[in-house]
Amino acid sequence: MEINNEIIKKIKITPLLDTLKLENISDDIYFTEYRRDYISNSRLGVFKRDGVKAFFEGIPQTFNPSFITGELVHQQVLQPESFYVVDSVFKPTAKAGLMADALYKGDGTTPTDDEIKSQSYIIGYYKDKLTPSRIGEFRQKAEPYWRDRYMYELKNALPKDKKIIYTDEKNFEILTNCLNSLSNDSSIQNLLHPTGLIKEPKVMNERTILMDIQMEVPEYEPRIYKLKAKLDNFVIDEEEETITVNDLKTCGKPVNMFDPLQYSYQREIAFYSWLLGFVAEKFYDLKKPKIKGNFLVVSTIPEYGTEVYPMTQKLFKSGIAEFKYLLQCVAYFNQVKGYEFIH
């Protein structure tokens, strides 16, 4: 589709600081209540990768096995107080595991074939190709998990203040090795748990920043857009007048092959740092703090290596330019081309 870059370059972005919020929001709420008409870094990635139509329709729900591994590592590194991973009951792998979880019944009964078929459409497990023989194969995978989980929950007092997580045996092994590697990396631990000389830095995990911006397209009325971001870990150091964004990344190859440019990760930290700068000024009275960013990388394959990959000035410059350009493109296609957010 034709893009008028001359117009896009002239689109003005104005942060509306009175709308700025720093909140502790669960993933369930973040990805539902703040979904359709909010712009996140991930959604900007959809714009860049899949185009205008995909962006305005919302982020498609696609299954990626690596997401499960990454989510487990994030939960146990950044929010161990909120998640409990069961270490003796394992579900099937991949989409069969998602199906088994969704169809589990706490009373010990098993789902009907019709219930399995219905869930297959939601999860995308064979969908309309779920034959009787495939249902039988699925039951062979899922029924041992349903039985073992029922007996485990019957016999054990599970923590009431944590979300109980069941995973497959392969991902549990990867999780265990990744956690061991991360805990033994003093550089990563010092970034996640910094100390100050007199005043302790403010350290927060999995916090959400919400802020509205106004974008002005030439010859159009200014329009308001909503931004959201969920940061893995950040540090506000008032002593050093520094803010640091640390982004935990799982990598399915050796850590020396990690490349932030491959998936525009530099845009992610730049976007988060831009928002965090406003938080530091509004809530902590830090005027123009020094900004740092790091990727905390752990490999999900043997030898489960770890590495700190710092954001350079070049990466910051590239990331800032990219996310601002994509925001301008959103305003352009919304106002000039008539695309609307689908609710």
Mind listing the pLDDT tens digit for each residue in 264-321?
A: 999 999 999 999 999 999 999 999 999 999 999 999 999 999 999 999 999 999 999 9
Residue 27 has pLDDT above 90, yes or no: no
User: pLDDT tens digits, residue range 104-159?
Assistant: 999 999 999 999 999 999 999 998 899 999 999 999 999 999 999 999 999 999 99
Quote the percentage of the chain above a pLDDT of 90. Answer: 90
What was the pLDDT predicted at 107?
96
Q: What residue has token string 């830095």?
A: 201
H-type alpha helices, 131-264: 132-155, 169-183, 186-192
pLDDT value of residue 270: 98
Domain borders along the chain are 5-60+185-336, 65-181
**Residue 60: is its pLDDT beyond 70?**
no
By CB atoms closer than 10 A (0-12, 13-18, 19+), residue 40 is: buried
Read off the pLDDT of residues 323-338 as tens digits, 9 standing for 90 and up: 999 999 999 999 999 9
Whether residue 339 contacts residue 333, with contact meaning beta carbons closer than 8 Å, is answered with: yes
**Among the CATH numbers 3.90.380, 3.90.320, 1.20.1510, 3.40.390, which is that of 5-60+185-336?**
3.90.320
pLDDT at 244 over 90: yes
CA–CA gap between residue 131 and residue 293 (Å, rounded): 50
Structure confidence at residue 102 as a pLDDT band (50, 70, 90): very high
DSSP classification of residue 40: -
CA 107-108-110 angle, to 5 degrees, is 110
Distance CA(343)–CA(331), nearest Å, equals 18
Amino acid at 190: N
pTM beyond cutoff 0.75: yes
3-class DSSP assignment, residue 212: strand
